[in-house]
A = this chain, B = another copy of it.
Amino acid sequence: PAHRIAVIGGDGIGPEVIDQAVRVVEKAAAKFDKAEFAWNKLPWSTSYYQQHGHMLPPDGWDTLAKHDAILFGAVGNPAVVSDKVTVHELLLPMRRKFDQYVNLRPAFLFAGVPCPLVGKAPGAIDMLVYRENTEGEYAPVGGNLYPGTENEIAVQTGVFTRRGCERILRAAFEAARKRPRKTLTSITKSNAQVYGMGLWDDAYLAVRKEYPDVRSSSLLVDAAAMDFVRKPETFDVVVASNLFGDILTDLSAAVTGSIGLASSANINPTKQFPSMFEPVHGSAPDIAGKGIANPMAAILSAALMLDHLGLAASAAGTRDAVAKVLAEGKVKTPDLGGTATTTQIGDAVLAAL
């Protein structure tokens, strides 16, 4: 039976890049795994919000729950709808409602992509960041006292559970175990944040005992930010809290040459709920509508979806096709120094499949 995929193109360049991702994975899945998709395009976006007063209809979560996966472009258009709405009515609730506790963000230095760091060879940077995606610093917990006055105090409470820390750590250790280098780095800041990061560290020390075959260490987030620049090649699997994972994955995207290549998967490993796949780049209002956005991040995110659906050959085929187009360097969008359009990249990746 066809894999049922909900498609939320969203705003800005979201729909533009998702269109290309759909074309590519459709062909890849047919070719490598004889698999088919039933696509269900959903119009949820800031325009939808402007018409209806909410980001998704009352039965929206039920609708999404009936799918095998969600392919997501980007939502957000701060000029017309506050990010508070798009983020807090759609993106963060989705991660939590569907218990997508693993946010997987690979960073790979492809041949043909100019690296901003001196002297890094293609393939030298090859890491998987496992970001906790449902709790921690993003817990919607806190408040303001004496708002709007000179005495205002705001509290922003990170909430960490042992279960929440252990399950993301386990997901990361499982991934590390399957990789050639079998190396894992757990990101912390327990020297300053003793409660939340203290629990994170305890969970790390407990879980690492289950994986004697994995070489693991703990690293302060500030030192990690430095090492992502100084020696990114030393990282294999990195596991981090919600906020630290957010910051470090933008950094890993930067050092591998383009946010236009950064993919992500928001995974519910139990498969009780659909997982969601989205490029890291966001809606990019500045280049929306011009047809020049790089769809490779969306295509690579869709490849992570193929992996999740069990279509490993299709996923590998898609990644190889992207790598081939990048290595040839003939067709490039402006973010990589070229002049190609979004559709031309889609065409080139299809041709390379």
Query: Residues of A with Cβ closer than 8 Å to B?
Result: 83-84, 87-88, 92, 114-118, 137-138, 140-144, 149-163, 189, 191-199, 202, 221-223, 225-227, 229-230, 243, 246-251, 253-255, 259
Which of the residues B137, B199, B225, B226 comes within 8 Å of A144, measured between beta carbons?
A: B199
The one of B118, B138, B152, B247 that contacts A222, using a Cβ cutoff of 8 Å: B247
Question: Across the interface, do B118 and A196 meet the contact criterion of CB distance under 8 Å?
Answer: no
Given contacts A116-B118, A155-B158, A195-B154, contact A250 B230 (CB under 8 A): no
Given the interface contacts A150-B162, A229-B116, does A155 sit within 8 Å of B195 by beta carbon? yes
In the A-B complex, list the 10 residue pairs whose CB atoms are closest, starting with the nearest: A156-B196, A142-B195, A154-B199, A222-B250, A229-B254, A152-B162, A226-B254, A156-B158, A226-B250, A156-B195
Assembled-state Cα–Cα distance A161/B115 (Å): 41
Beyond contacts A225-B250, A229-B255: 17 other A-B pairs, Cβ-Cβ < 8 A, are: A116-B118, A116-B230, A137-B193, A142-B194, A151-B162, A151-B163, A152-B199, A154-B159, A156-B160, A157-B157, A193-B243, A225-B251, A226-B250, A226-B253, A226-B259, A229-B229, A247-B247
Q: A156-B193, A243-B189 are in contact. Are A251 and B230 (CB under 8 A)?
A: no
Pair A247/B229 contact, Cβ less than 8 Å? no
Q: Are B199 and A221 in contact (CB under 8 A)?
A: no
Contact of A247 (CB < 8 Å), options: B149, B153, B221: B221
Q: How many copies does the complex hold?
A: 2
Cβ contacts under 8 Å, A88 to chain B:
194
Distance from A68 Cβ to chain B, minimum over Cβ atoms (Å): 28
A161 and B157: CB pair below 8 A?
no
Q: Contact check, B194 vs A84: say whether CB atoms are below 8 A apart.
A: yes
- What are 27 A-B interface contacts by the 8 Å CB criterion? A83-B191, A88-B194, A116-B117, A117-B118, A118-B118, A138-B192, A140-B194, A141-B155, A142-B158, A144-B198, A144-B199, A150-B163, A151-B163, A152-B161, A153-B161, A153-B199, A154-B196, A156-B197, A158-B158, A189-B246, A222-B246, A222-B249, A225-B247, A225-B248, A225-B254, A226-B251, A251-B251
* B residues less than 8 Å from A161 (CB atoms): 151-154
Across-interface contacts of A223 in B (CB, < 8 A): 250
Taking CB atoms, residues of chain B closer than 8 Å to A249 are 222
Q: How many angstroms between the C-alpha atoms of A137 and B189 in the bound complex? A: 11
- Contact across chains for B150 and A160 when beta carbons are under 8 A apart: no
A352 to B137, CA, bound (A): 48
Measured CA separation A10–B149 after assembly (Å)? 42
Complex: chain B residue closest to A192, CB-CB: B138
Query: Which residues of B have CB within 8 Å of A138?
Result: 192-193
Q: Are A115 and B116 in contact (CB under 8 A)?
A: no
A255 CA / B226 CA spacing, docked (Å): 8
Inter-subunit contact A191/B157 (CB<8 Å): no
Q: Distance in Å from the Cβ of A193 to the closest Cβ of chain B?
A: 5
Residues of B within 8 A of A153 (CB): 159-162, 199
Please determine whether A191 and B155 come into contact, CB atoms closer than 8 angstroms.
Answer: no
